[in-house]
Amino acid sequence: MQILEIAAEFEKKPHQNLLNGRVIASLFFEPSTRTRLSFESAIQKLGGNVIGFSSAATSSVQKGESLKDTILTVCNYSDLIVMRHPVDGSARFASEVASVPIINAGDGANQHPTQCLLDLFSIKKTQGTLENLEVTFVGDLKYGRTVHSLVIALCQFNTKFHLVSPVELKLPSAVKRHIKEANLQYEQYTDFSEVIPKSDIIYMTRIQRERFPDPLEYEKVKNAYILDNSMLNNAKENCRILHPLPRVNEISINVDDNPKAYYFEQALNGVFVRQALIASILGLK
């Protein structure tokens, strides 16, 4: 919560020379344009310098170097490491061997904590609160890492969950257990038009063809989870549409001009949240 408050300060005044030439390493062992640019923008707005690489192909991993060796080496050159890696648990391991702080910018299918923070920031900013909201998640709830993290985080705030997905892509029971343990309610749907009028937040995600063993099953459901502007006529005034991006076709472009569309501002919020995180970790005010 403190990070969200600091992020709000950076939103008011994004350019602050707190890093004053410090060097931040941005190690992207797999490509992620949005997350990397957002971090690098945050670092530069804080007056820092960025070193690093944007894919494993351009790093010493190509030569067979272990993650431990890469991290130990880069610690010599930087004050903090931002790291994206395709292997689950890689960031936690890196933090155990590193002499400088590590920020996890996504580790395989495991966590993407800064996305979760920017989602929370976006919800708080648009709704004025995180408490007692009705949040609808739509699309791939089974494999969507950002969905899992956000559902678990929202369990702290008395959220009512609406879970809309094809049967094959339902929220995993391990995540639903968090909702149950928090004594909160969730409802599951395969059709989402009926939940739009109840929703304070609609969190859209992309359904990927490769998630379906049978291509015919994908063809059957692919159009059932597309949000079109006409569907938002009965939405609440305060309702906002979020999406972790990139979008393909799950939100029609005619939604973009609707004041309820918030996904591009959501991406901007990522910069403030990452500024807040870097400044807090390095104890800079």
Partner 1 sequence: MNTKRKELIVSAISNGTVIDHIPADKVFQVIRILDLEESEKEIYFGTNLVSKKYGRKGIIKISEKYFKPSETDKIALVAPTATLIEIRDYEVTRKTTVNIPDSIERIAKCFNPNCITNKEQVPTKFKVIKIDGEIKLACHYCEKNTSQNNMVFN
Residues involved in catalysis: 34-35, 63, 84, 112
Indicate whether 15 belongs to the interface with partner 1 (CB under 8 A).
no
Indicate whether 115 belongs to the interface with partner 1 (CB under 8 A).
no
Among 93, 143, 157, 186, binds partner 1 (CB under 8 A): 93
Tell me the residue type at 167.
V
**Which CB, 110 or 136, lies closer to partner 1?**
110
Indicate whether 92 belongs to the interface with partner 1 (CB under 8 A).
yes
**Tokens encoding 179:** 């909702």
Among 87, 184, 281, 284, binds partner 1 (CB under 8 A): 87
Contacts made by residues 76-80, CB under 8 angstroms, sequence distance 24+: 77/23, 77/25, 77/51, 78/23, 78/24, 78/25, 78/51, 79/22, 79/23, 79/24, 79/282, 80/22, 80/24, 80/25, 80/278, 80/281, 80/282
**Which CB, 14 or 113, lies closer to partner 1?**
113
Indicate whether 68 belongs to the interface with partner 1 (CB under 8 A).
yes
The site that binds partner 1 (CB under 8 A) totals a number of residues, namely 16
Q: Which region among 90-98, 112-120, 160-168, 179-187 touches partner 1 (by CB under 8 A)?
A: 90-98
Closest among 141, 281, 269 to 206, alpha carbons compared:
141
Residue carrying the six token digits 């007056």: 47
Indicate whether 109 belongs to the interface with partner 1 (CB under 8 A).
yes
Q: Would you give the binding string for partner 1 spanning residues 135-174, x where CB under 8 A is met?
A: ---------------------------------------x
In the complex, least distance from residue 93 CB atom to partner 1, rounded to whole angstroms: 5
**Tokens encoding 125:** 């900013």
Cβ neighbours, 10 Å, residue 249? 12
